[in-house]
Structure 1
């Protein structure tokens, strides 16, 4: 099906490029789905902690950047921003015909052979140098703020130029596509990330506990969920780990439970048995939102960003009978509290079978088919352009 750029299709060399493997999240699941499409692909990344490389990827040949050799690289990788451009450009992808980048960082800047096709699946332009730059800066001390400002200015210019090296962009949501257009001046095809709907199921009964899943980092705003559930004395179960964990534990009341990282079976069991899924981040897409819906569970989410594309809100009368969740307007504990109370008054209106059915449009099979079609189309155009050049 996929033509080689030149010659025998069976000899097409494919590389998969992912920003880093230091935790397990949505980006890593996308990388797994890409690798399943190309089982012989080599993998390139900046930093990799062996235990954080998904099991399905460990049979692939993996190449890391010089950053991986730095002491404690897997713990300090976010502070190595000034070195990202050099580290990316030193990854040697000579001889690869097709390069797929799974990128929410600088990986779009890899240097390829002139004849190579580069398809970038963009989870988001780097938040900390683009749309959330001022927010990140506001939490820094005076010296760090000045240093970060200079570094971000340099990397921002490089990142824009690096985006021009991409043959074809795919975005994980319309929300991200708009930022790709704004910051890079590039169009993109929206392909929603792959949700393992085959592992999801409807539970016969639910607990009285709410659930949230994600990396414990500041922009996820799990602190708001904790404060709201503390105030209302509602049970909240939290899956995930991250640098914010100690702070979040310190503010958690007796109804808050931290489960850490869990295995896949436990994760889906938590989704299926929760009362509802809580989400307070302004997220690019939010795979966990859809995973909860795939188990028939309603979502209470911030009404911004990618959530607007995956949640059918009960707040609009036209959606009654087809709703999968409800929104709150601002990132405040009071807004979360009000949304939980509104949900509990309207809980009977949600149909688990409808919610589960709505989630099927985000299945992994849809992702593979859509990405495959995009790659096929890009290969066809590339071959046609090459043939035209030979004729001139």
Structure 2
């Protein structure tokens, strides 16, 4: 983006949460760097391996003092209580536009009245807000002195989180669901710009075999609810399911599928195997509540229908019963095996109306190009609104 202010190129900074591995939020940063190649990157810590650093384009990342604290490489999350103070120490003076890539503390950076601060929110801190009870339970911190200290720390984080929202000039949410969470927590409106998906890497196969197997690919952790999908297909022995992925709940999934010959467990799969599974799936089944759902878009890019839980970011992706002319999937209303079974049966009744072409066209709404165009348009509009008239005429 060749935007200028007062006759010079914009100075842009991108403040990210922490750099540990390349995933969805890092993909957003990578696309921002394509739009603003002059941008400098800041983060709480940077422990990204060399194999994952290509999106940074060789840039040196400016980090906080937490980078040098004892055992930070492995346990930097244990310094969460220090992170609000740490991000406030980042020196962002001199930048015209500052992006914060936020899911914990990044939006707490300090900017001045002549700087435009745009916060791309992947999610407000779930463990400090609506997911606090679940977080404490899973961490074994419901009771006792450690539990009390954790609750006190989360209370302080909530107060800081709300206060620092006032320093953001414009919020971007990665889905309508996150926009509602931003409204609930910060009482601020947000523009929805979906995260970029590399839809060109995923495409329908030529001369593919008949799509006979349903597929789920997911990290096997509790909130993904892979167990519900497996249980549903145990009760549908005439329908085949392929389960790919691993994680802490893998043994539980193995036990559930042990007496179900229609269920095949593949474990962790490579990128090429993942693509083949998506291209050959009768439908992609997903039972988790996600903030967005990049995997769902990747399935659609392969021309694959979706059968997914109708909460969270999935509602932005699936064209369901309200798109009678060109549906791309089916939503189910409860996280239960029974609800999944009903959705699979409903899918079979409308399967002929869900075409690979419509699925692929739907996925293109979430392309990297679409993301770049929307970000550029938003920044241009905000700069026109924010830059004083006298400066525009300078």
Q: Does 1:288 align with 2:292?
A: no
1:57 matched residue in structure 2:
56
Q: Is the 8 A contact 1:28 1:54 kept in 2?
A: no
Number of matched residues? 382
Cα distance in 2 for partners of 1:76, 1:343 equals 45
Q: Structure 1: which 5+ residue stretches go unaligned?
A: none
Matched, 1:374 2:381: no
Using the alignment, how far apart are the partners of 1:207 and 1:48 within structure 2? Answer: 43
Q: For 1:252 and 1:89, how far apart are their aligned partners in 2?
A: 48
1:209·1:237 contact (CA, 8 Å) conserved in 2? no
Partner of 1:89: 88
Write the mapping of 1:1-392 to structure 2, written as runs, cut at 5 A: 2-9=2-9, 12-51=10-49, 53-73=52-72, 75-139=74-138, 140=140, 141-143=142-144, 144-203=146-205, 204-232=208-236, 234-239=240-245, 244=248, 251=255, 253=257, 255-260=263-268, 262-263=270-271, 265-313=272-320, 316=321, 319-384=323-388, 387=391
Secondary structure of the corresponding residue to residue 197 of structure 1 = coil
Decide whether the 8 Å contact of 1:14 with 1:40 is kept in 2. Answer: yes
Partner of 1:48, secondary structure, is: coil
Going from structure 1 to structure 2, the CA distance change for 1:122 and 1:281 (only over 3 Å counts) comes to same
* Alpha carbons 1:108, 1:166 under 8 Å: kept: yes
TM (normalized to structure 1)? 0.86
Q: Is the 8 A contact 2:226 2:253 kept in 1?
A: no
Structure 1 113/364 Cα, relative in aligned 2: closer, same or farther at 3 Å? same
Task: Give the drift of 1:302.
Answer: 0.7
CA distance change for structure 1 residues 80 and 277 in 2, over 3 Å: closer, same or farther?
Answer: farther
Mapped to 2, the partners of 1:252 and 1:117 lie a distance apart of: 52
**Residues 28-71 of structure 1, C-alpha deviations (whole Å, 9 max, x = no match):** 22121111112232222223332273422251221233333345
Distance 1:154 1:36, change over 3 A: same
Contact 2:13–2:97 under 8 Å retained in 1: yes
Tell me, yes or no, if the aligned pair for 1:278 and 1:301 is still in contact at 8 Å. Answer: yes
Mapped contact 1:173–1:285 kept (Cα < 8 A): yes
Q: Tell me if the contact between 1:95 and 1:113 (Cα under 8 Å) persists in the aligned partners.
A: no
**CA separation in 1, counterparts of 2:215 and 2:71?**
32
Distance 1:83 1:258 in 2: 41
Structure 2: gaps of 5 or more residues: none
Alignment check: 8 A CA contact 2:196 2:368 kept: yes
Aligned counterparts of 1:283 and 1:355: Cα–Cα separation in 2: 20
Describe the superposition over 1:300-359 as per-residue Cα deviations: whole angstroms up to 9, x where unpaired. 11111221121011xx3x533411111111112332233334434543332111111122
RMSD over aligned CA atoms reads 2.8
Q: Write out per-residue CA displacement over residues 215-249 of structure 1, whole angstroms, 9 at most, x where no aligned residue.
A: 5543333332343345545432324x66x355555
Q: In 2 relative to 1, CA 95–280 (structure 1 residues): closer, same or farther, beyond 3 Å?
A: same
Give, in whole Å, the separation in 1 of the partners of 2:376 and 2:156.
35
What CA distance in whole angstroms lies between the structure 2 residues aligned with 1:21 and 1:215? 20
C-alpha contact (below 8 Å) 2:244/2:269 kept by paired residues: no
